[in-house]
Amino acid sequence: MTEAVFRETTAEPRTQSVPLAHLSLELGHFYMEDFEAGPDHLRRHLARVRPWAEAARAAAADRAGSTRPRISTCFLIDDYFTRFSSPAELVPLLLAEADRAGLSVDYLARESGCAVTGKVPVAEAVAGRIVEEPPPGSYGHRPPAAQTGWLANGVRSPTARAPQAMRKAAAWQPPTETAARRHSVFLDVELWNDTPDGQRVWSCPFLAAVWQLARLGLLRHQGDAVLDPHPHTDAAFPDDWDELPALIRLNPRAAPFAAYRTCSVLPNRFLPVEHAVRVILDQTDVDPEALRQVAERSAREGVPVPASVADRISYLFYEGS
């Protein structure tokens, strides 16, 4: 005899799915120093971005095969580390210069949204999913990243200690990369630091890793999608950054914000930051249901994605600032 099992529907785990484009194409980041350099600096950046953006579009079209590629563009503004200008002044300038360069910005994001969105502690939630790879031969002497705020892709050089009586000092040993190919490229990434008053400040690489997870459609908090784009319906932009949604859709006909793959066109000064992003993502336990949703949908479309989240990300770096 089979017994009936009753279960509350609210007890069933649920992971919200998000619409997905083929490619999320990032046209740039905008920081305080970029604003201080004046409009000509932004104009030069966008002019340099255009040919690389066209190349990224061509590559996405080739990967999509006979399917018409869905490509959305985005731009990130730093309102986390410094507050400068205002949306009312800066956003129209950005859109005008993008139009002048023959580019269209579909989505605009605030970097502070990668730390906290509404009441969701986004960065803290992602930090809680970091699972460090134990380097070969390690014995747990190194404190975990959750305590130190530092994450490495291998083994640090051992700390020199004063030798005990009748014993020789340990010989120096180099740091080693866990997945080194012939030679190590060791990297130790600062995820955050705490101010004297106890406030946590997330690092640029860590927020950039959160940003990539959002663009890949893999960012969830208690099953709900995070950084959901808000449509921009008003002609004017607010004077205060806090009054602007963390992510806005500027183009009502744009392809989805999140995508199977991302590509960022950036000046080469961002290369160290993006190397750190890969180290972080390689040791982040991404929501398995979100991963499954993306894998199944991309396979149905005939554009399967790499198993490694970090390998879904690409960059085009140009020389200059």
For residue 138, the model assigns a pLDDT of 59
Q: What is the reported pLDDT for 9?
A: 46
List b or e across 236-257, with b for residues whose CB sees 16 or more CB atoms inside 10 angstroms.
ebeeebeebbbbbbbeeebbbb
Instruction: Tell me the pLDDT band of 156, cut-offs 50, 70 and 90.
Output: confident
pLDDT at site 7: 47
Q: What is the DSSP string of 255-314?
A: PPSSEEEEEEEEEGGGHHHHHHHHHHHHTB---HHHHHHHHHHHHHTT-PPPSSSGGGEE
Instruction: Please tell me the pTM assigned to this model.
Output: 0.90
Q: How far is CA 50 from the centre of its chain?
A: 22
**Residue 191: other Cβ atoms inside 10 A:** 23
DSSP at 117: B
* The predicted structure's pLDDT at residue 19: 95
> What are the boundaries of each domain within the chain?
16-128+195-318
In our burial notation (b when 16+ CB lie closer than 10 A, e otherwise), range 267-306 reads beebeebbebbbbbbbbbebbeebbebbeebbeeeebebe
Q: Is the pLDDT of residue 26 over 70?
A: yes
CA distance 185 to 194: 28
Mean pLDDT of 68-79: 96
pLDDT at res. 234: 77
Identify the weakest region by mean pLDDT among 159-173, 234-248, 301-315: 159-173
Q: Which residue has the higher pLDDT, 197 or 2?
A: 197
The length of the chain is: 321
In whole angstroms, what is the distance from residue 205 CA to residue 55 CA? 26
Q: What is the pLDDT of residues 75-129, one digit of tens each?
A: 999 999 998 899 999 999 999 999 999 999 999 999 999 999 999 999 999 999 9
Q: Average the pLDDT over each of 130-144, 229-243, 245-259 and give the range with the smallest value.
A: 130-144
pLDDT of residue 242: 94
> DSSP readout, 128-185?
TTB-PPPPTT--S-SPPHHHHSEEESEEPPPPP-PPPTT-PPPPP---EETT-BSB--
Radius of gyration of the chain (CA): 22
Average pLDDT score over the chain:
89
pLDDT at residue 264, as a whole number: 97
pLDDT at 12 over 70: no
